[in-house]
Structure 1
Amino acid sequence: MSATVIDLRIEHGGPALGLGTPRPRLSWRLDGPSGWRQSSVEIALETRSGATRTSVLETDEQVLVAWPFADLGSRERVLVRVRVTGVDGSVSPWSDPTPVETGLLLPTDWQARPVGGAWGEAPGTDRRPSRVRRGFRLDAPVAAARLYASAHGVFEAEINGARVGDDELSPGWTSYGSRLRYRTHDVTELLVEGDNVIGAWLGDGWYRGRLGFNGGYHDLYGTDLSFIAQLEVDLVDGRRVVVATDDRWEARVSPISFSGLYDGERHDLRLDDDAWSIAGADLDGWTPVTVAGRDPATLVAPEQPPVRCTEEVRPVEHWRTPRGTVVLDFGQNLVGRLRITVDGEAGREITLHHAEVVQDGELYRRTLRLAAAEDVVTLRGDGPVTWEPRFTVHGFRYAEITGWPGDFDPAAVVARVLHTDMERTGWFESSDTGLNRLHENVLWSTRGNFVDIPTDCPQRDERLGWTGDIQVFAPTASFLFDCSGMLGSWLQDLAIDQLPDGTVPWFVPRIPGGPSWEPIEPGAVWGDAAVLTPWTLYERFGDAGVLARQWDSAKAWVDLILERAGEDRVWDEGFQLGDWLDPAAPPDDPADALTDRHLVATAYLHWSTRHLALTAEVLGRDDDATRYGAIADEVRAAFVGRYTDGRGRTTSDAQTAYGLAVEFGLIEGEEARAGGDRLAQLVAEAGNRIATGFAGTPVVAPALTRTGHVDRAYDLVLERSCPSWLYTVDMGGTTIWERWDSMLPDGTVNPGEMTSFNHYALGAVADWLHSTVAGLAPAAPGWRRVRFAPRPGGGLTHASGRHLSPYGEISSEWRIDRGAFLLTVALPVGTSGSVWLPDGTTVEVRHGRHEFRCELPTAAGEAAG
């Protein structure tokens, strides 16, 4: 019996339209009988002319298989199918054909130039955004059409009155001087024979809008607001018509008078003209565009899905304040914006304010700092209208509406959730409802902070790609979502923005940071994203290509910090954030942690050097692997000599210090057991309350588990007093907080400046929920081999985890029944695994569904009921 190809994917998945590579990699998932294994694959390519080529590869690999044909050219469209042969000689049916189409691969393919309104570029002048348009005529029916579009700023395109695509805030945020994404749209159905119009709305976005702290900075990438588009239309008679942005376009001031990511949007519907992008409309006030410059070599195809609206949330409660405004509670801290349906007289202004929390029945907005988070629409009085802002996004659970006409109907408002539309790949559930809510909070914080780049928070005047935050959280994010394309793209900007000496910026893309962050200094945990985040993508998605692409960046970072450490291999100088936001740190000094920040820096020096050696090994750089492996050993010895007593005690007698020492392999054997014992003792002495910041949180529960203290790890994770993970749940949190006590036990907001209610870093514990509670962890790159090792405890009676790996769905589900432990695991074709049972039994498994039973140790069985 043969297998069946059930999912043929191109590169990082999603529709393969407008690919930026001439050699896209292929992956496929299989369904097959028990014991079936692939021995070879046949790949067929069909061109537009109907010609077919095939290639047979003798391989058992299914993930990111190299393109076996000649390079594709720009705009080339082919169909790809695969069929596989098993070691038993059985041959699968051909897969359904998958279309593959490249974008504009060469700078010479581009005719488009950036165009925008001839106003607003100079400081102190009219900064209103513009709309741009151009009419054109097609003298034959359309066979196919593609729009390649980008902007200096953000844009929404229209053709003949219809919106193009459903992406939001395009083209997203990259290091614009070196990389500006364009997206490809199939617009065949929007065009007609005869007269047509193409146009675009424009907004400041990240390119020209306010970014950063303490008032921020404008015009970081340029002063123009411009549309860049190339519409290519293939007519049925074989001709191609190209309509590119150039001096034949026209512009007009937009009815959106202001848009900013921090401050919101103002839209006067009285100035709108619904027919502005429709042929034949009688329009006035349009003037010639200004043409800006752009090196087409910097225009790149996206590797990640766009930002989209992925969900709509209705208010669960509303009330009127003494001031007469309406406050809405959506029941969930989310990232997006409001869509309202309203009818009122011309000139009426409706104002929408947003906040994460309320205090005394009113929006509490201090935590927004200088972000206004205010949207205003002015009605034109011609009947009911449905409106939402176009070019802003807010982090909020609560919204206040001012100026609503007449009686308020909560059904007239919906919150639209926006984030990068990554495929969800991870699920977790247990018998503990608090633990389930904690996991849901992690999921929502991931969604809210993956808005084109991985940000630190979505609500205040910051929203930056902090390198340390994603470094500690990437393993969790990679379980929950297929973020391979998004993080791979972001890492390219990290390498671009890296300083010549190897220093990694605190946040990427790099912007001016003010006196606190300029000049940029190398900092452990944050800079280590250059090495450790590519490794996470390799480990979780099987992508060795990201290791190769980021090698120079990773090596430059390690070489720099080794130089800083000097011959003694201890990094004990320079500015360090250390265990940032340790709960013991005072509100005004989040870096003042219990753990010596140089201990943290030296631990990370070892960990990154070790992983650079592993990276070199994967890439076949044997000399580098040997060299950096030996240096990592030297750093480990230096750490033991400087920061331990040689018997497992660390000089900083703190949870983070022991967690790092154990999990990073800095202490081993008896020393590690002694360190784990002391860690467990510290947790007990703290009443099972957490005492770690960003650096220590990902490692403390795993270190306890590794050293035989899984029960103490459960005690830590299930603790409900402050500070703890479940404290945030009990206080009504629906996302992960920046501080353990962002809200104080009395219900007031922490007075510290760094007080966000949507910050994923402390949610890194979810990786322990997946690997230890549910028992799912990768044992080979891409989950090709899986370790099933659930560790029951904490009174839980059941738990489960599922992960959609590159090979297919992997699952682990256990329950306790009258002292017996019952486990069911499942593996897809192409993978294998080892199963560890609580009685110490280890079993090897191949793909398929497997059930196990063993008796639990008496204490565990009694605790679970």
Structure 2
Amino acid sequence: MPITVSGVRAELRKDSENTAEPMPRLSWIVEGPAGWMPAWSEVRLDEGESLRLGPESVLVPWPFAPLEPRSRYRVQVRVGDADHASPWSEPRWVTAAFLTDGEWQAAMIGLPAAEPDQRPGLVRTEFDVEPGLVRATLYATAHGVYQAEINGVTVDDAELKPGWTAYRLRLIHETTDVTTLLHPGRNAVGAIFAGGWYTERYLGRRAEFYGTTPAVAMQLHLDYGDGRDRWIRTGAGWTAAAAPITASGIYAGEDYDARLEQSGWSAAGFDDTGWQPARVDDAPHPTPSAQVAPPVRMVDELAVREVVTSAGGAPILDFGQNLVGRLRIRVEGPAGATVTLRHAEVLEGGELGTRPLRGARATDTYTLRGGGPEEWEPRFTFHGFRYAQLTGVEVRPDQVTAVVLSSDLPRTGWFRSSEPMLNRLHENVVWGMRGNFLSVPTDCPQRDERLGWTGDLQVFAPTASFLFDADAFLTSWLTDLDLEQRAAGGIVPFVVPDPLPDGKRPAAAWGDAATVVPTVLHERYGDLDILRRQLPSMVAWADVLLGRAGDALLWRGDFQFGDWLDPAAPPENPFAARTDPDLIASAYLCHSVELVARAARLVGDDATADRYGRLASRAREAFRHEFVSPAGRMSSDSPTAYAVAIRFGLYGDDVQRQGMGDRLADLVRMQGYRIATGFVGTPLVADALADTGHLDAAGRLLFQTDNPSWLYPVTMGATTIWERWDSMLEDGSINPGGMTSFNHYAFGAVADWLHRVVAGLAPAEPGYRTIRIAPRPLKHLQWAEAELNSPYGRVRVAWCRAGAELVVEADVPTGAKAAVELPGQEPFTVAGGSHRWTVVAPPAVSRRSPLHWMTTALSDVIDDEEAYAAIRATLTEIDPVLATQLRRQIIWSRGFTLDEVLRALSPDGRERVEDALAVLNRRAQEEDRVLPDLGRNRPRSGPPPSVSTVSEPSA
């Protein structure tokens, strides 16, 4: 196989040649023969100067002089060793998208003061272009959202620009090459704009947080190549008029009157009689900086899947998928007729389920111009919906399209298995992330909230970093977190950006996003600079926690969200979890202080590493003394307490750790393998079980379909992850709580466990420089696989059962290696290439003890899936009420037997249950269902797996 280099990129963005950094780091993908490793790389600038570098290919420091603003270069890379060299890669353009200090001089302009606040507007100006233009670049930002047009053409396909940042502290500008849109002679540039996030009234507040009037700022640079240049900037001399968008809001939706359109408004020669001088906003605002993350774009389109007739007889459009975006309609009718578009995630009682929207109107209207077919979609709003209802003018289903919006992050990770419901769960996670990663990582996309809750992202960051290339997106968000945190004296607000008046209080698991997210980005992308950049933020957060904890090093007595949305909490009180919030707070204190110490060590700050390492050690000791018994029993005897302690290393020795794990498994069993954790415990519980020898219990928890569980929403038709385990109840009604969303990714954090543990694909070194291949086959699965476009290239791990054997396949990219752990084998290491191993499979079926009505403990019944299913099915036939009690109320402990909990059964019912048990006993005896002897568990004789590996060239 030849050696090649592809995928060269500068800094973090794949979607654009623009870079916000004067010395952007370079990355590329190397492909070569199996086992081959590059010894050197060489980078060439504009087919001229080239420099020989080391073998690394991920986030390689820029080897040339810093880029000057607006400079543009072609970069090529080749690699080799002592005997071989690849050809030069295809050229990659790198454009410095930033400006020189003082070069941003554009004013914010908007509608004249006589126009109503928040009214969307148009602004424009005309200018001359002389012959000899070689390049034109538009830099633009807004207090709100905008789209620019030049000579009647939109400048790009980005949506809701420039996105949401901490507006009072940070503005960003886009950098767009518009050379092809200009021509010698008279030209025009303009923008349409609305308030977007800037003028929103968050969570139903009576006043806007950032400002009341939207505005836009643009500056167009004309480069003539002979030393001449010219700037066209917003300010005095621009004119403005109201847009045909008569009202627009993130929560409310958008109203559009096509009769108010002004054809050609952004083209030269337009008659702007009646337009007024634009209002110039002289108030100070942050100087915009270059955009770091990919913008929001249309990423998909969905046709109507089905037309449902409402309870009132009206048609409701079902797109078959809960999504985030808006509708595009094609309609015809008389001038002045209005189409109203309403949206909802679910149906309730045969109608749109709009109660969960709370104060969000989530409604668009379009007033027709008349005279022929018209096509329209809202421009500056978005909705979370699966269902829509259109009224006012007849629109056929084939004339309606759902336009899916998201920050345009490349998909990088996939998971598949032999279980369709598990695959649907994983797709729900993907769709939930796609919808909620829209400019900022929001909590939900539909109601009057849509905020960047830090706790949600803290638990979901590992999953996000596998599914999509989220490095640039989260790096940009962390910049806002840092700024908001500085403004709050080191406290990380509940949400980032932070428009809440009461959100600047420290909260465990929420504010810890400051330490966890940078750690995840380093682990998953090999991004050491993010730790270096965020270390002051990490330290500041740790210092806040240590200040709250005092000399005891225990964080107690403060406000906490705790294990938010523990299923035991009543609908009206999501705080009321089983786990002591002080325990959670003190555990996260230990965790964050430890992460600070690790980050400081990695970036070479040994003094900080030593200080916080000592504090972390003392905090762990204080935690154990306060919350853990010598045998490993937690003061809060809840699954979340044990999961947190196990995963954060808050135990004294292996004996105590195993005691925690055994008790956790007991608690999970006693709940009937139904979920008993909230936001904090859910991402940790499966790992905590598997790490302590209870993989089967983790599997039972994963494959549970009763409420609450990960798969219960799947059984109810969910296509995204729900906010509550029971956002919809079994009877099809919406949870009565005042806070219910059907697209909320936090509980989808389990997908990271599917990738790392079930499929067995995880980073062993930052950025997957070394890949950990360690599949843990679950009894419920015949096969599973995960695939990742890692920073080094494509990685794939797959396993399947073949009789008594387990076949494992792996593709390792060139330049990386893999540390492999297979069942029954000693660990070994392989280089890049395609590999295949066959080992003895872990048993898919456990031995069954005889089941007896009088003596069988409830714990044995629930551990035997067939027995539990048979008893439940039998009870459902003879006593449905008792069957429901069995499912919802029984504690499946070792201390009770079937006879003790089913005494209310009639003699006939008892006999039928005993008959069902007898059938199971006979079947188990006939199948000789016993555990394999030790000889069948030993590795097969012959060469070790690393020698018998089948290797092929990496793809």
TM-score (norm 2): 0.87
Are 1:578 and 1:593, in contact at CA under 8 Å, matched by a contact in 2?
yes
Are 2:800 and 2:808, in contact at CA under 8 Å, matched by a contact in 1?
yes
Report Cα offsets for 1:450-495 as digits up to 9, x if no partner.
Answer: 0000000000000101011100000000000111111111111111
| Rounded Cα–Cα distance in structure 1 between residues aligned with 2:844 and 2:342 | 53
| Rounded Cα–Cα distance in structure 2 between residues aligned with 1:281 and 1:533 | 50
Deviation at 1:284, TM superposition (A): 2.6
1:624 aligns with 2:612: no
| Rounded Cα–Cα distance in structure 2 between residues aligned with 1:323 and 1:861 | 53
What is the aligned-residue RMSD (CA, Å)? Answer: 1.8
Are 1:561 and 1:571, in contact at CA under 8 Å, matched by a contact in 2?
yes
* Map of 1:525 onto structure 2: 509
Deviation at 1:274, TM superposition (A): 2.2
| Rounded Cα–Cα distance in structure 2 between residues aligned with 1:372 and 1:224 | 20
Amino acid at match of 1:55: L
* Map of 1:424 onto structure 2: 411
Amino acid at match of 2:660: G
Deviation at 1:409, TM superposition (A): 1.7
Between 1:748-757 and 1:144-153, the stretch displaced more is: 144-153
Between 1:369-378 and 1:181-190, the stretch displaced more is: 181-190
| Rounded Cα–Cα distance in structure 2 between residues aligned with 1:755 and 1:297 | 36
Deviation at 1:678, TM superposition (A): 1.0
* Map of 2:656 onto structure 1: 671
1:202 aligns with 2:187: no
3-state SS in 1 of match to 2:565: coil
Deviation at 1:327, TM superposition (A): 1.1
Are 1:141 and 1:192, in contact at CA under 8 Å, matched by a contact in 2?
no
Instruction: Give the number of the structure whose alpha-carbon radius of gyration is greater.
Output: 2
| Rounded Cα–Cα distance in structure 1 between residues aligned with 2:793 and 2:410 | 13
| Rounded Cα–Cα distance in structure 2 between residues aligned with 1:324 and 1:132 | 45
| Rounded Cα–Cα distance in structure 1 between residues aligned with 2:599 and 2:585 | 21
Between 1:314-323 and 1:4-13, the stretch displaced more is: 314-323
1:855 aligns with 2:849: no
Are 2:5 and 2:77, in contact at CA under 8 Å, matched by a contact in 1?
yes
Report Cα offsets for 1:238-260 as digits up to 9, x if no partner.
Answer: 63232211212100011111100
1:100 aligns with 2:91: no
1:702 aligns with 2:687: yes
Deviation at 1:322, TM superposition (A): 6.1
Deviation at 1:29, TM superposition (A): 0.7
1:823 to 786, 796, 808: 808
Report Cα offsets for 1:577-624 as digits up to 9, x if no partner.
Answer: 110000001111111101111111111111111111100111101111
- For residues 658-807 of structure 1, what are the structure 2 equivalents within 5 Å? 658-667=642-651, 668-807=653-792
3-state SS in 2 of match to 1:182: strand
3-state SS in 2 of match to 1:485: helix
1:171 aligns with 2:162: yes
* Map of 2:399 onto structure 1: 412
Report Cα offsets for 1:176-225 as digits up to 9, x if no partner.
Answer: 12211111111112112222111111110111222x22x22544223332
Amino acid at match of 1:593: A
- For residues 516-595 of structure 1, what are the structure 2 equivalents within 5 Å? 517-518=502-503, 520-595=504-579
Describe the shift of the 1:297–1:395 C-alpha distance in structure 2 as closer, same or farther (beyond 3 A): closer
Deviation at 1:566, TM superposition (A): 1.4
Are 1:818 and 1:861, in contact at CA under 8 Å, matched by a contact in 2?
no
3-state SS in 1 of match to 2:536: helix
1:115 aligns with 2:109: yes
* Map of 2:797 onto structure 1: 812
| Rounded Cα–Cα distance in structure 1 between residues aligned with 2:463 and 2:703 | 19
* Map of 1:374 onto structure 2: 363
3-state SS in 2 of match to 1:207: coil
Between 1:9-18 and 1:625-634, the stretch displaced more is: 9-18
| Rounded Cα–Cα distance in structure 1 between residues aligned with 2:718 and 2:575 | 24
Deviation at 1:279, TM superposition (A): 1.9
| Rounded Cα–Cα distance in structure 1 between residues aligned with 2:18 and 2:89 | 22
* Map of 2:881 onto structure 1: none
| Rounded Cα–Cα distance in structure 2 between residues aligned with 1:672 and 1:563 | 29
| Rounded Cα–Cα distance in structure 2 between residues aligned with 1:163 and 1:324 | 41
3-state SS in 1 of match to 2:197: helix
Describe the shift of the 1:76–1:860 C-alpha distance in structure 2 as closer, same or farther (beyond 3 A): farther
Amino acid at match of 2:622: A
| Rounded Cα–Cα distance in structure 1 between residues aligned with 2:392 and 2:299 | 29
3-state SS in 1 of match to 2:429: helix
Q: Which runs of 5+ in 2 are unaligned?
A: 848-864, 867-926, 928-955
* Map of 2:477 onto structure 1: 490
Are 2:415 and 2:426, in contact at CA under 8 Å, matched by a contact in 1?
yes
Are 1:150 and 1:228, in contact at CA under 8 Å, matched by a contact in 2?
yes
Deviation at 1:104, TM superposition (A): 3.1
Are 1:777 and 1:787, in contact at CA under 8 Å, matched by a contact in 2?
yes
1:306 to 295, 315, 327: 295
* Map of 2:938 onto structure 1: none
Are 1:178 and 1:298, in contact at CA under 8 Å, matched by a contact in 2?
no
1:28 aligns with 2:13: no
Are 2:79 and 2:86, in contact at CA under 8 Å, matched by a contact in 1?
yes
| Rounded Cα–Cα distance in structure 1 between residues aligned with 2:413 and 2:811 | 14
| Rounded Cα–Cα distance in structure 1 between residues aligned with 2:19 and 2:253 | 33
1:468 to 455, 460, 475: 455
Deviation at 1:321, TM superposition (A): 3.8
| Rounded Cα–Cα distance in structure 2 between residues aligned with 1:154 and 1:207 | 8
| Rounded Cα–Cα distance in structure 1 between residues aligned with 2:419 and 2:622 | 43
| Rounded Cα–Cα distance in structure 2 between residues aligned with 1:344 and 1:324 | 23
Report Cα offsets for 1:377-426 as digits up to 9, x if no partner.
Answer: 10011211110000000001111111123xx4211000000010001110
Report Cα offsets for 1:305-350 as digits up to 9, x if no partner.
Answer: 0000000011111134465643111111000000000001000010
Are 1:120 and 1:128, in contact at CA under 8 Å, matched by a contact in 2?
no
Q: Which runs of 5+ in 1 are unaligned?
A: none
* Map of 2:177 onto structure 1: 186
- For residues 261-272 of structure 1, what are the structure 2 equivalents within 5 Å? 261-272=250-261
3-state SS in 1 of match to 2:583: helix
| Rounded Cα–Cα distance in structure 1 between residues aligned with 2:461 and 2:233 | 40
Are 1:107 and 1:297, in contact at CA under 8 Å, matched by a contact in 2?
no
Are 1:23 and 1:67, in contact at CA under 8 Å, matched by a contact in 2?
yes
| Rounded Cα–Cα distance in structure 1 between residues aligned with 2:577 and 2:431 | 28
Are 2:168 and 2:210, in contact at CA under 8 Å, matched by a contact in 1?
yes
* Map of 1:223 onto structure 2: 212
3-state SS in 2 of match to 1:109: coil
3-state SS in 1 of match to 2:798: strand
| Rounded Cα–Cα distance in structure 2 between residues aligned with 1:485 and 1:263 | 30
Amino acid at match of 1:227: V
Deviation at 1:370, TM superposition (A): 0.1
1:506 aligns with 2:494: yes
| Rounded Cα–Cα distance in structure 1 between residues aligned with 2:780 and 2:369 | 60
Deviation at 1:18, TM superposition (A): 3.8
Deviation at 1:861, TM superposition (A): 9.3
| Rounded Cα–Cα distance in structure 1 between residues aligned with 2:388 and 2:218 | 36
Deviation at 1:833, TM superposition (A): 1.2
Describe the shift of the 1:218–1:92 C-alpha distance in structure 2 as closer, same or farther (beyond 3 A): farther
Q: How many residue pairs get matched?
A: 848
Are 1:476 and 1:764, in contact at CA under 8 Å, matched by a contact in 2?
yes
Describe the shift of the 1:279–1:740 C-alpha distance in structure 2 as closer, same or farther (beyond 3 A): same
| Rounded Cα–Cα distance in structure 1 between residues aligned with 2:140 and 2:703 | 49
1:90 aligns with 2:84: yes
Report Cα offsets for 1:781-836 as digits up to 9, x if no partner.
Answer: 11111111111113210000001111111110110011110000111112111111
Amino acid at match of 1:189: T
Are 2:13 and 2:292, in contact at CA under 8 Å, matched by a contact in 1?
no
Deviation at 1:732, TM superposition (A): 0.6
2:235 to 240, 246, 260: 246
| Rounded Cα–Cα distance in structure 2 between residues aligned with 1:127 and 1:496 | 27
Are 1:115 and 1:245, in contact at CA under 8 Å, matched by a contact in 2?
yes
Report Cα offsets for 1:112-135 as digits up to 9, x if no partner.
Answer: 2111111368xxx45422100111
| Rounded Cα–Cα distance in structure 2 between residues aligned with 1:321 and 1:631 | 61
| Rounded Cα–Cα distance in structure 2 between residues aligned with 1:176 and 1:565 | 33
3-state SS in 2 of match to 1:725: coil
| Rounded Cα–Cα distance in structure 2 between residues aligned with 1:274 and 1:779 | 59
Amino acid at match of 1:63: V
Deviation at 1:850, TM superposition (A): 0.7
TM-score (norm 1): 0.96
